[in-house]
Amino acid sequence: MKRMPRQLIQTALVVSLATPAIALAGPLPEVQHSAQGIAYISGGVGDEEASAIRAAAGDYNVRLLLTGKQGQYLANAHIQVLDAKGKPVVDATADGPYFYMKLKPGKYQLVATLDERPQQRMLQVAKQGSRSVHLTW
């Protein structure tokens, strides 16, 4: 009788345990692209969609979280990102509390507006790493 290598057994165990967790995350919202080609996803309404978006966070270098003062999740904020020359590279509406983007390295101005109340942040995006921004209204 042949013995299975220990590493093969460990790999099979990890895959079998991870598969249900991936299935529970639910479908990821469709990846959108700005007119300038910047990829972004937005959403997180409901536990399944929120889990799916959080699971994809590593694919995006700028991650926004939109909440109210009591921590409640918010949606429908207008998100605009301007490059160093003031040219819009993202102009979209957040479909939920999570808004993730893949921005090229550089300096940007973020303007997020909810109920006619804008918030501005300066973003420095590096070649490596990521940036998380929590916006509260």
For 66-86, what is each residue's pLDDT tens digit?
999 999 999 999 999 999 999
| Structural domain contains residue 19 | no
Q: How many domains does the chain have?
A: 1
At 7 the pLDDT is: 56
pLDDT band for 124, please (50, 70, 90 cuts).
very high
| Structural domain contains residue 20 | no
| Structural domain contains residue 93 | yes
At 19 the pLDDT is: 44
Once rounded to an integer, what is the mean pLDDT over residues 92-107? 98
| Structural domain contains residue 119 | yes
For the chain, what is the mean pLDDT?
88
| Structural domain contains residue 14 | no
| Structural domain contains residue 42 | yes
At 23 the pLDDT is: 45
pTM for this predicted structure: 0.80
| Structural domain contains residue 1 | no
Q: What is the pLDDT of residues 1-27, one digit of tens each?
A: 555 555 544 544 444 554 444 444 568
At 10 the pLDDT is: 54
| Structural domain contains residue 104 | yes
- Coil, helix or strand for 2? coil
What is the extent of the structural domain holding 121? 28-136
At 96 the pLDDT is: 97
